[in-house]
Amino acid sequence: MDIAFAMYPGMTVLDLTGPHEILAHHPEAAVHYLAATPGPVRCDSGMEVTATGTFGDVPSPDVIVVPGSSQWRRALEEQRELVAWLALAHPSASWTTSVCTGSTLLAKAGILSGRTATTHWGVRDVLGGLGAEVSTERVVVDGDVITAAGVSAGIDMGLVLAARLWGENTARAIQLFVEYAPEPPFDSGNPETAPPEMLDQVARLLPRSEGSVPSTGP
């Protein structure tokens, strides 16, 4: 089973490593780390990860995972090769997935037109402008597409995907293996539960979503 993790400069590392940790250890998983060019890829936090191949090296993966980025607007403008690959690879994939603002790249590739999808709460309006029906759920499954909300939701998405690939018992075993039983010290993990003043503070740190939205299609 070919699982392709799409990589690009400015991506958020946990968007990649969260679902990767859930999926990559399964014996059926043949994992590919793809970018426009092989080599180091610098994430938005400064960490570097390594792409071992190009998008063209795996034209028809079984599973596609697209991480998001705090620099999502730049990604929408610059990641033309990734968007073009998504448009070509998605029709033959069993599952196409995204984490956080990675859903905007799926939408740019025309994959989310008429579908329900989720994303980071700060760019829900942008995702809607790109043709998706926006949900506030943490993980959304619509046909052969699975989208996750912000950053840490990629772990949840990985478990949902693992259950569909290998069965619920296997997904539960993976959850136990990674000891994923979150007990956050605060109840500020989404805009519905965070105090209004905290929401305003974080919203000011996010890239502005106003303005023109790039058209869909590669």
Give which of 48, 145, 53 is closest to 99, Cα–Cα: 145
pLDDT tier for residue 203 given thresholds of 50, 70 and 90: confident
Rounded (5°) CA angle 155-142-58: 70
Catalytic residue among 11, 34, 100, 132: 100
Q: Say if 214 falls within a structural domain.
A: no
Q: Quote the CA–CA distance of 143 and 112 in Å, as a whole number.
A: 11
Give which of 111, 136, 9 is closest to 70, Cα–Cα: 9
Q: Say if 105 falls within a structural domain.
A: yes
Please give the pLDDT value at position 199: 86
Q: Say if 210 falls within a structural domain.
A: no
Give the DSSP H or E segment for 175: helix 168-177
Strand, coil or helix: what is 99? strand
Q: Say if 196 falls within a structural domain.
A: yes
Residue 214, pLDDT above cutoff 90: no
Spatial CB neighbours of 187, under 8 Å, sequence gap ≥ 6: 193, 194
Please give the pLDDT value at position 155: 98
Please give the pLDDT value at position 208: 52
Give which of 125, 202, 144 is closest to 136, Cα–Cα: 125
Interhelix angle for 153-166 vs 168-177, to 10°? 140
The answer to whether 110 touches 217, Cβ cutoff 8 Å, is: yes
Count of the separate structural domains present in the chain: 1
Q: Say if 141 falls within a structural domain.
A: yes
Q: Which domain holds residue 100?
A: 2-205
Whichever domain contains 189, its CATH number is 3.40.50.880
For 79, how many CA atoms within 13 A lie in the half-sphere containing its CB? 32
Residue 147 is encoded by which pair of tokens? 């989208």
Q: Say if 80 falls within a structural domain.
A: yes
For residue 100, indicate whether it is catalytic. yes
The model scores a pTM over 0.85: yes
Q: Say if 136 falls within a structural domain.
A: yes
Please give the pLDDT value at position 89: 98
Q: Say if 81 falls within a structural domain.
A: yes
Pairing of strands 139-142, 145-148: antiparallel
Torsion angle of alpha carbons 31, 35, 41, 44, nearest 10°? -100
- CA-based Rg of the chain, rounded to a whole angstrom? 16
pLDDT tier for residue 207 given thresholds of 50, 70 and 90: low
Q: Encode pLDDT of 143-171 as tens digits.
A: 999 999 999 999 999 999 999 999 999 99
Tokens 């998706």 belong to: 132
- Kindly report the average pLDDT of the chain as a whole number: 93
